[in-house]
Structure 1
């Protein structure tokens, strides 16, 4: 049959009030009221948003829309208490701050950003809200735009503890509905490339001039929610800190660069607060009293000094050293909280300051204990044993190397031949790899999950695995404790900080080869020394250690069971939220001058965590 010209049939823009979109091989229907532009521009949100329907064809998605009750996507307000709306949505109850504005309760990041509280019932939520209302407010500053370009550490799962504050305190978030990450100054790369050394000098001078011009403009630039009083207060703090640093003998160039990296727009958005809780980096002009939580000393210098490149550096010789020292000694810095004992010892050695030493508080981190976990019940010899490797929370492909991804692939190439029933799941974005590693990946029994996983999916991934692999350059505290909480024996490295939480032959197995090469503490210099370059090629000692450790766990189910159960018991007894909140409360108390000059919170001594009693068989995982 001969066909000629045919008119193009336009794809419909909507159907029964739903917005229709055809992309990535699927047809999507977004219900009325959803933020279409936001869902489309946020990576992965289109596929994971529970209100979005999808099918392979237009007809298929139209059938889904016809069968859908649009009212199920609309939150129902069931009460109000202390400035919160009590809302029922998809079978869950939430307390939503009335100041949160247009909020999408289906997006976990939005709920965390706005300080939404979840509960089992309206009465439960009202009790929590009223209890929080009597607590002293502490502004959680992780929402500031500057943190979005600093590894997005303000949204890191490590700081989920802020939804369960210690007694007497409540965390607030004064974030505006819309805020943008700071944009770097661009356009100078071509000058540097074209003009060599002279071009680099000119580019630096031009950049400095542009940044200097930005400061007065930013103070007067209109911005919603930023009052004149806030501008005056922040400007006064800016001048006061600059004068203080110069009076302390800091180099003018270092002072200006430090102040510029605090991001003036973020400071204006923060406004006036009773007390501010900072995450990892001291992004402040000192306009508010503040407490900071850190994992290692290097992040105090970020982005002026960065992790992974400190093996041969001397922080004490850096032009930014006196700047950071003066900022930490200042009265507006109230406490430095860390979950690493090593950091609590390094900071006094690094700064040699009694004032700073008195502000250091150490408390081991704690995580929630999940109800569903891997019990390592007896199984047939040929049943699959699943190994799990997870990249960093932010899924930066290059962090695959830092986590020991190459060593895992090398080890699994051996383990795959030795044990046909062993499988590997890698939840990671992959960097550019050689053909050799692609052949390893294609060799079978390796699953790569390179997409966003919801909390429920991550929980299922942990609970159905049997061994957690973390041969990283250094400790990754949340990944480590979460794996332990799910009853997984961890095959970790001897990188910095790992053995503070991981006891060899007790709750996991430690593989040697990272200490002294990839990371190590230098007590004399007070530094965490790191060299991430060595992670870009596999280490034969580490690879052999992984093979040996995993082989033991595969061949000895009793060892796998004992280590996994002890790991979970260790989290339950030592690394829980109650213990962490005691340390957090000590830091916040000190900010209010109620606490001791210095406090070190240690986990309770326990030679062997008590075994956990079995729960109903219905929740068991194979």
Structure 2
């Protein structure tokens, strides 16, 4: 057949009102009801947004568009209750704050940002909204732009509990709708020292102080959408008040200006004036509002000026930022310091040696929801696959693969798969650059790498289908640990700091030795969590051997696997649940509002009688006040 000149047919940009995008081997169709520009500009959203149609060919995408039902995509308004619009969107029901502006209900981050309440029906949501509306407002500050460059901890699953506030309170979010803000990273101490070496130490300090002072003054008058003059005056007054207080306390001027710069003035202006603010992990405030902070360890109180993983040889008490943080915590506007780690509740008073700070510390174990679908470890043939699960941090930073013990997992799996051909390993992680040795382990088979975004439903399925959860990390990762326990997985964890507050060897999991005292440990005399992540960048033979031994036991003993998993799930049901956590959160908020005595709340663990299924759990049935 003879062929000659043929005109090139361009790929169409639209079809029946849908925007067509051909990328990465797929064709996507964005409906006219979608926020097209936002979907295209947000990494990963094109692949995971429920409104976007996807197919391998143009012909198939056209068939999907032809069958598209606009009515199924439409959001139906049902009623208005106490400042909320109750709507039905797809097959779900939501209560949306009327002050939220435009919000994409298909995006979990959007729903969390503006405080959308989910429910199973309109009547249930109406009851929930009326209960929430009657509560005292607490501003959840995790939406502030500064948190987006601080591990995005404001959006971390650890703080999903704010969607289920304790009785008498409601969390609000004053984030301006529909505006995307990019915040430059806070200046690092290392970069400042490097500049100091080039300019001369004294000259660099003077120049830096002048630049920071000029920048701070300029930011107060820089135009900012949604920021009123009254807000600027209130924040400026708080800034000056804190600056003067710190200087009077003898804090070094350069350190003070550097610290104030890291609070990010634009975030403080956006936050404005609130009755009570709930901060996540870092005290990003000038003190213009009363505030409560939830922390996992003391180090984050100094972030970004002191960072986790590098505290093994530090003396925080000698840091120029120590008196600054101490002053901030002692001030009247700091109302409570909430933590889910008993160790932290003891370290914070020891670190600051301040009676005022000690009285503000509130401790309560964290709680998570109990999923309906979980791993029951039903009897199975010896050659049936047994699934191991390793998960990197929520923010999926590739380097955190090391901190979670990823190298030790690969080394152990190379040994285990030769013993037990039925083992399968799933690693939910972005991989850092790895040596060929580890690439060969991955190429050897039965290792699945999942490095894409997973929805909540996909994560639930991944947990429920796994049998053994591997967390040989440098330290505790509380949400990952509790979620694995809630799904009934047999957990193999490390003895890193904080892990054994929740994971009890031979009771609800197996603990591998080798992290405590090397990668992390509590220093009660200094009041510090000491960490040295350098040990995590090469495998530890002791940890690898411990993983091999623990997994071998769980493979060969199905009853042990079942008992540990069921006990772990029972612990979440009876102790590490949202009701127990909310009692501690309520104590902190009550203290902030003046309705509770100054105290540290600790939940006593009382051994419960074994149930009919033989599972012995713990119950938090008493509060000890000290």
Distance in structure 1 (CA, Å) of the matches to 2:462 and 2:393? 15
- Aligned to 2:607, the other structure's residue is in SS state coil
Q: What is the TM-score normalised by the length of structure 1?
A: 0.95
| Number of the residue aligned with 1:562 | 563
| Number of the residue aligned with 1:16 | 16
| Number of the residue aligned with 1:30 | 30
| Number of the residue aligned with 1:617 | none
CA contact (8 A) 1:361 1:587 kept: yes
CA contact (8 A) 2:165 2:171 kept: yes
> 1:251-290 residue pairs with structure 2 within 5 A?
251-290=252-291
Distance in structure 2 (CA, Å) of the matches to 1:490 and 1:336? 30
User: More displaced, 414-423 or 218-227?
Assistant: 218-227
1:344 aligns with 2:367: no
Distance verdict in 2 for CA 1:244–1:205, change over 3 Å: closer
Distance verdict in 2 for CA 1:139–1:612, change over 3 Å: farther
1:60 aligns with 2:60: yes
> 1:141-156 residue pairs with structure 2 within 5 A?
141-156=141-156
| Number of the residue aligned with 2:175 | 175
Instruction: Identify unmatched segments of 5+ residues in structure 1.
Output: 615-622
Instruction: Identify unmatched segments of 5+ residues in structure 2.
Output: 616-626
Q: Aligned-pair distance for 1:70?
A: 2.0
Instruction: Give the aligned length.
Output: 614
| Number of the residue aligned with 1:471 | 472
Distance in structure 2 (CA, Å) of the matches to 1:456 and 1:95? 21
- Aligned to 1:601, the other structure's residue is in SS state strand
CA contact (8 A) 2:209 2:253 kept: no
Distance in structure 2 (CA, Å) of the matches to 1:200 and 1:456? 54
Per-residue CA deviations over 1:438-494 (Å, capped at 9, x if unaligned) read 000110000000000000000000000000000000000000000000001110000
| Number of the residue aligned with 1:452 | 453
Distance in structure 2 (CA, Å) of the matches to 1:183 and 1:216? 18
Distance in structure 2 (CA, Å) of the matches to 1:299 and 1:385? 38
Distance in structure 2 (CA, Å) of the matches to 1:159 and 1:226? 26
Q: Aligned-pair distance for 1:10?
A: 2.2
| Number of the residue aligned with 2:138 | 138
CA contact (8 A) 2:403 2:533 kept: yes
CA contact (8 A) 1:566 1:609 kept: no
CA contact (8 A) 2:209 2:254 kept: no
1:51 aligns with 2:58: no
Per-residue CA deviations over 1:146-192 (Å, capped at 9, x if unaligned) read 00000000000000000110000000000011141312489x99999
CA contact (8 A) 2:295 2:337 kept: yes
CA contact (8 A) 1:565 1:612 kept: no
Distance verdict in 2 for CA 1:193–1:518, change over 3 Å: closer
| Number of the residue aligned with 1:120 | 120
Distance verdict in 2 for CA 1:189–1:147, change over 3 Å: closer
RMSD: 2.1
Distance in structure 2 (CA, Å) of the matches to 1:71 and 1:395? 36
Distance in structure 2 (CA, Å) of the matches to 1:512 and 1:267? 44
Per-residue CA deviations over 1:306-337 (Å, capped at 9, x if unaligned) read 00000000000000000000000000000000
Distance in structure 2 (CA, Å) of the matches to 1:285 and 1:185? 16
CA contact (8 A) 1:191 1:199 kept: no
| Number of the residue aligned with 2:620 | none
Distance in structure 2 (CA, Å) of the matches to 1:147 and 1:608? 44
Per-residue CA deviations over 1:257-285 (Å, capped at 9, x if unaligned) read 11100000000000110000000000000
> 1:407-556 residue pairs with structure 2 within 5 A?
407-556=408-557
Distance in structure 2 (CA, Å) of the matches to 1:332 and 1:584? 18
> 1:114-263 residue pairs with structure 2 within 5 A?
114-177=114-177, 178-184=179-185, 197-198=198-199, 208-263=209-264
- Aligned to 1:211, the other structure's residue is in SS state helix
Distance in structure 1 (CA, Å) of the matches to 2:128 and 2:308? 39
Distance verdict in 2 for CA 1:246–1:610, change over 3 Å: farther
| Number of the residue aligned with 1:93 | 93
Q: What is the TM-score normalised by the length of structure 2?
A: 0.95
- Aligned to 1:602, the other structure's residue is in SS state strand
CA contact (8 A) 2:132 2:169 kept: yes
- Aligned to 2:603, the other structure's residue is in SS state coil
Distance in structure 2 (CA, Å) of the matches to 1:424 and 1:462? 12
CA contact (8 A) 2:427 2:450 kept: yes
Per-residue CA deviations over 1:101-127 (Å, capped at 9, x if unaligned) read 111100111111110001111111111
> 1:102-117 residue pairs with structure 2 within 5 A?
102-117=102-117
CA contact (8 A) 1:105 1:111 kept: yes
CA contact (8 A) 1:191 1:200 kept: no
Q: Aligned-pair distance for 1:72?
A: 1.7
1:379 aligns with 2:384: no
| Number of the residue aligned with 1:618 | none
Q: Aligned-pair distance for 1:9?
A: 2.1
> 1:581-596 residue pairs with structure 2 within 5 A?
581-596=582-597
CA contact (8 A) 1:367 1:482 kept: yes
User: More displaced, 147-156 or 26-35?
Assistant: 26-35
Distance in structure 2 (CA, Å) of the matches to 1:502 and 1:28? 45
| Number of the residue aligned with 1:620 | none
Distance in structure 2 (CA, Å) of the matches to 1:434 and 1:563? 35
Distance in structure 2 (CA, Å) of the matches to 1:157 and 1:613? 32
Distance in structure 2 (CA, Å) of the matches to 1:181 and 1:324? 26
CA contact (8 A) 1:84 1:98 kept: yes
CA contact (8 A) 2:156 2:394 kept: yes
CA contact (8 A) 1:349 1:523 kept: yes
Distance verdict in 2 for CA 1:418–1:297, change over 3 Å: same
Q: Aligned-pair distance for 1:208?
A: 4.8
Distance verdict in 2 for CA 1:438–1:176, change over 3 Å: same
Q: Aligned-pair distance for 1:601?
A: 2.7
| Number of the residue aligned with 2:621 | none
Distance in structure 1 (CA, Å) of the matches to 2:197 and 2:356? 45
Distance in structure 2 (CA, Å) of the matches to 1:23 and 1:603? 56
Distance in structure 1 (CA, Å) of the matches to 2:447 and 2:389? 10
Distance verdict in 2 for CA 1:81–1:9, change over 3 Å: same
